[in-house]
């Protein structure tokens, strides 16, 4: 129970920083604005194509799915947005502590390094989860107004996809933040690393060699497609859990070495 209380205390401390500064509000505003913008544009396109199909003299309206035409497109776009926003959420987690000299105070408290890392990770992940919920309020409008309700399972798995890929981004950002005192450096390096991991997925080509296809498996974006379509493949979930675990392990080892030196 002490471990849970310690982690909760770290989460509460980080949330006070997030919501006591513009970070949380800017992240929520940008995320919600872009989520609503993508939703509006894709839903408008879906409605226009449906209307044009309904006015065809022969064949009637094409069979179209909101999940494929609107929801999937929005979720894929928001995964890209998360690539840009999560470094802003994670860059200060350890860098600011080290810059202000409070990391040494934290290191002398009766709290383990793992509890520190987990507390900061769950604080950032909690803020990111709130961002996902606020974005999904756009989808709730469809359930309120639509006469024929779309499928809800792909939305649940889509939310899981955004949460898992965001958790992976946060784990990387957390580790990078342990390496520097400069928030800008932490954010920039985090974005570069995440972009590199994202681009690795582009090497996934049936005509590519075994090595290229093996490297492309590390591409973070390759594992969200099935989830967004409503299919839960265990190997995709395991990949993200393993990726997050490895990122937290690196962060823990980095904090351990610095705390020992302190």
**DSSP assignments along 148-159, one per residue:** SPPPSHHHHHHH
Most confident of 60-69, 73-82, 103-112, 251-260: 73-82
Judged against a pLDDT cut of 80, whether residue 258 lies above it is answered with no
pTM of the model: 0.89
Q: What is the mean pLDDT of the chain?
A: 85
Q: How far apart are CA 171 and CA 112, in angstroms?
A: 18
Quote the CA–CA distance of 133 and 147 in Å, as a whole number: 23
Give residue 259's pLDDT. 65
- Rounded Cα–Cα distance for residues 19 and 79 (Å): 23
Q: Give the residue among 89, 120, 94, 91 at the shortest CA–CA distance from 257.
A: 94
Please report which confidence band the pLDDT of residue 245 belongs to, taking 50, 70 and 90 as the band edges.
very high
Asked whether residue 256 carries a pLDDT value surpassing 90, the answer given is no
Q: What is the pLDDT of residue 57?
A: 47
Instruction: Check if the beta carbon of residue 142 is closer than 8 Å to that of residue 85.
Output: no
Q: Are 221 and 243 in contact (CB under 8 A)?
A: no
pLDDT, position 106: 67
């Amino acid at each position: 129970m002490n471990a849970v209380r310690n982690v909760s205390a770290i989460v509460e401390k980080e949330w006070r920083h997030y919501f006591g500064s513009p970070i949380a509000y800017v992240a929520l505003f940008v995320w919600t604005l872009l989520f609503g913008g993508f939703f509006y544009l894709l839903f408008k396109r879906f409605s226009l194509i449906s209307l044009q199909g309904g006015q065809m003299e022969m064949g009637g309206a094409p069979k179209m799915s909101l999940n494929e035409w609107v929801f999937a497109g929005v979720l894929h776009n928001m995964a890209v947005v998360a690539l840009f926003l999560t470094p802003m959420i994670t860059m200060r987690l350890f860098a600011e502590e080290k810059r202000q000299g409070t990391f040494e105070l934290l290191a002398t408290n009766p709290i383990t390094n793992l509890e520190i890392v987990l507390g900061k990770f769950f604080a950032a992940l909690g803020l990111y989860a709130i961002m996902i919920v606020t974005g999904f309020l756009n989808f709730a409008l469809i359930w309120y107004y639509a006469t024929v309700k779309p499928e809800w399972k792909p939305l649940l798995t889509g939310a899981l996809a955004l949460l898992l890929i965001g958790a992976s981004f946060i784990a990387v950002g957390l580790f990078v933040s342990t390496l520097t005192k400069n928030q800008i450096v932490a954010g920039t390096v985090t974005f570069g690393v995440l972009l590199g991991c994202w681009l690795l997925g582009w090497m996934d080509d049936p005509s590519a060699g075994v090595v290229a296809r093996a490297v492309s498996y590390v591409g973070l974006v390759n594992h969200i497609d099935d989830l967004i379509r409503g299919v839960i493949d265990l190997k995709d979930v395991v990949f993200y859990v393993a990726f997050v675990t490895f990122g937290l392990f690196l962060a823990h080892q980095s904090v351990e070495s610095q705390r020992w030196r302190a």
